[in-house]
């Protein structure tokens, strides 16, 4: 059963009562709240996510409570508080910003607790059985590009995280609504007039935020991991044409390690996982100014640069011997793509 | 990953000049080679370092047998013009010591 199959009243009753439980990627979310309107938002944005019904066979990963402020605050500038397993790591948000608080709070829970994965701060979409990683700082266009690719049929993994399983190097999908900010909202509306966005939340700490409903097909496949294939570090520059600049493997290493939430927590496992990806995945820096052109270029790139299916072996304890040939640091040129 | 405060020059000290250095847990170090540089993960510190060829050669030699700077230069066949390389190796040993990759042998 899916969340979208419940009525608004049924979702509200669960949220106010025993809680609403659903699965997103490898995690189970358990949410309780009396915040108004959240049932409507969840029903749209999490429409295709599998609902969990009692008796529960799975332990909830994150027990989240969005609670309303007490006392005079309950009536004057009402607030909503985020609590995960009791601790409240954030300052409260205005009550009508419960959805952005839920999404950011869930991000916090994952980034701070899911250390069974190497967690990369990157957009991730799959094509031809391989995951394209889009690491980038806020403002780089990572989420907007991820959203646009998912609207063009690429399988969405996440606009925020790549969950890398150390050992196998495979990436677990974490398909959730994509948080679009400020100009990105209008950009995606222009890009695809059928894109299903939730309400706009103005004056958040990151400006105006709206959430894009993830493609149902991606949600349906969110238990199917895939290996990484390519790393592209996007950089949006208004008016720019699409350019690719290849990065060396050691530069790729630091793009990944530097964009990981828990690289140092992972220790040797993290080093091995990042080294494996850096050896295995060709890496580029991409500048773009137009979503359609960027997608066309990325489709061409992923068609032309085929990554071998067998991943490189992980780093060994022994240093490389003199007879070991140096690994390839430059990937094949991209014919036909402006560089 | 750490950012070391690297001074422009390291003065000769009795420790740097005379100490016998060893690599405390060489077998536990994880290496990745990228052309002329190495990424080195030290489980002892949890830090990742970028290591150049001279540092790699020095660590490899010291892992085989502890030595002082003079002996290390001989083994690396860099003792022909010691005045040219001593300053660099003094600094190299200082940095490796600061990173915890080598330690002086205590008797």
Could you tell me if residue A268 is inside a domain? Answer: yes
- What is the DSSP annotation of B73-105? HHHTT--SSHHHHHHHHHHHHHHHHHTTS-EE-
Q: Is residue B16 part of a domain?
A: no
Predicted pLDDT at A336? 33
The pLDDT tens digits for B12-63 are 676 777 899 999 999 999 999 998 899 999 999 999 999 999 999 999 999 9
Number of domains in chain B: 1
B66 falls within a domain: yes
For residue B44, which residues of chain A lie inside 8 Å, CB to CB? Answer: none
Q: How far is CA A218 from CA A277, B68, B72, in A?
A: 23, 60, 58
Do residue A326 and residue B35 have CB atoms under 8 angstroms apart?
Answer: yes
> Is B81 part of a structural domain of the chain?
yes
**A59 in contact with B at a CB cutoff of 8 Å?**
no
Helix, strand, or coil (residue A220)? helix
- Asked if residue B96 belongs to a domain, the reply is yes
pLDDT in tens, chain A (339 residues): 999 999 999 999 999 999 999 999 999 999 999 998 899 999 999 999 999 998 787 788 999 999 887 776 666 778 888 988 867 788 888 888 999 999 999 999 999 999 999 999 999 999 999 999 999 888 899 999 999 999 999 999 999 999 999 989 999 999 999 999 999 999 999 999 999 999 999 999 899 999 999 999 999 999 999 999 999 999 999 999 999 999 999 999 999 999 999 999 999 999 999 999 999 999 999 999 999 999 999 999 999 987 765 544 444 444 544 434 333 334 433 333 332
Q: Is there a contact between B31 and A264 if contact means CB atoms under 8 Å apart?
A: no
Picking from A163, A195, A162, A164, the residue whose alpha carbon sits closest to that of residue A180 is A195
Across the interface, do B41 and A253 touch by the CB < 8 Å criterion? no
Tell me: do A148 and A250 sit in the same domain.
yes
The partner residue sitting opposite B33, judged by closest CB among A257, A317, A320, is A320
Q: Say how far apart CA A46 and CA A243 lie, in whole Å.
A: 35
In a domain, A333, yes or no: no
CB contact under 8 A, A253 and B60: no
Domain membership of residue A153 as a residue range: 116-308
Q: Are residues A72 and A142 in the same domain?
A: no
Q: Which of A113, A146, A171 delimits the end of a domain?
A: A113
Quote the number of domains for chain A.
2
Which pLDDT score, from 0 to 100, does residue A60 have?
A: 87
Examine residue B40 and state whether it is found in any structural domain, yes or no. Answer: yes
Is residue B53 in a domain? Answer: yes
- pTM, two decimal places: 0.86
The token pair that represents A314 in the structure block: 């992980």
Q: Is residue A58 part of a domain?
A: yes
- Domain hosting residue B91, numbered range: 28-100
A335 domain residue, yes or no: no
Residue A267 to residue B46, Cβ atoms within 8 A: yes
A272 close contact with B: CB closer than 8 A: yes
**A269 and A138, same domain (yes or no):** yes
Would residue A168 count as lying in a domain?
Answer: yes
- The count of other CB atoms within 10 Å of the CB of residue A205 is 11
Residue A26 is classified by DSSP as T
Q: Would an 8 Å CB–CB cutoff place A269 in contact with chain B?
A: no
Give the residue from chain A lying closest to B31, CA to CA. A319
Q: Is the Cβ–Cβ distance between A69 and A34 less than 8 Å?
A: no
- For testing contact with chain A, the best of B26, B28, B34 (most A CBs within 10 A): B34
Q: Using the structure block, give the residue that is written with the tokens 């020059």.
A: B9
């Amino acid at each position: 059963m899916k969340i979208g199959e419940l009525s608004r009243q049924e979702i509200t009753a669960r949220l106010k009562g025993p809680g609403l439980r659903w699965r997103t990627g490898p995690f189970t979310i358990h949410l309780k709240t009396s915040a108004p309107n959240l049932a409507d938002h969840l029903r749209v944005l999490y429409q295709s996510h599998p609902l969990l019904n009692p008796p529960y066979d799975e332990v909830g990963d994150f027990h989240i409570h969005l609670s309303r402020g007490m006392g005079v605050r309950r009536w004057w500038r009402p607030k909503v508080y985020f609590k995960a397993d009791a601790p409240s790591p954030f300052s409260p948000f205005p009550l009508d910003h419960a959805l952005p608080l839920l999404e950011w709070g869930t991000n916090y829970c994952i980034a701070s607790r899911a250390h069974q994965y190497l967690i990369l701060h990157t957009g991730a979409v799959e094509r031809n059985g391989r995951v394209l990683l889009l690491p980038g700082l806020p403002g780089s266009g990572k989420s907007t590009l991820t959203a646009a690719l998912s609207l063009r049929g690429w399988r969405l993994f996440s606009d925020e995280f790549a969950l890398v399983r150390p050992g196998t190097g495979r990436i677990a999908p974490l398909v959730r609504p994509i948080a679009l900010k400020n100009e990105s909202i209008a950009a995606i509306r222009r890009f695809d007039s059928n894109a299903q966005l939730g309400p706009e939340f103005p004056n958040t700490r990151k400006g105006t935020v709206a959430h894009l409903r993830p493609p149902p097909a991606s949600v349906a496949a969110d238990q199917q991991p895939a290996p990484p294939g390519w790393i592209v570090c996007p950089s949006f520059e208004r008016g720019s044409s699409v350019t690719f600049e290849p990065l060396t493997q050691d530069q790729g290493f630091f793009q990944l390690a530097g964009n990981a939430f828990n690289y140092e927590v992972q220790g040797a496992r993290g080093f091995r996982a990042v080294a494996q990806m850096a050896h295995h995945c060709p890496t580029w820096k991409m500048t773009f100014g137009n979503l359609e052109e960027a997608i066309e270029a990325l489709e061409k790139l992923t068609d032309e640069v085929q990554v071998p299916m067998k991943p490189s072996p992980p780093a060994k304890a022994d240093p490389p011997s003199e007879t070991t040939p140096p690994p390839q640091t430059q990937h094949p040129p991209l014919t036909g793509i402006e560089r | 990953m750490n950012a070391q405060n690297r001074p422009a020059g390291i003065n000769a000290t009795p420790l740097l000049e005379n100490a016998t250095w060893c690599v405390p847990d060489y077998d536990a170090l994880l290496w990745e080679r990228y052309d002329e540089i190495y990424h080195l993960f030290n489980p002892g510190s949890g830090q990742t370092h970028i290591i150049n060829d001279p540092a790699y050669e020095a660590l490899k030699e010291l892992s085989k047998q502890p030595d002082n700077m003079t002996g290390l230069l001989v083994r690396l066949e860099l003792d022909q013009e010691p005045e040219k390389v001593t300053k660099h190796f003094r600094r190299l040993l200082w940095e490796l010591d600061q990173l915890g990759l080598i330690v002086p042998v205590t008797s």
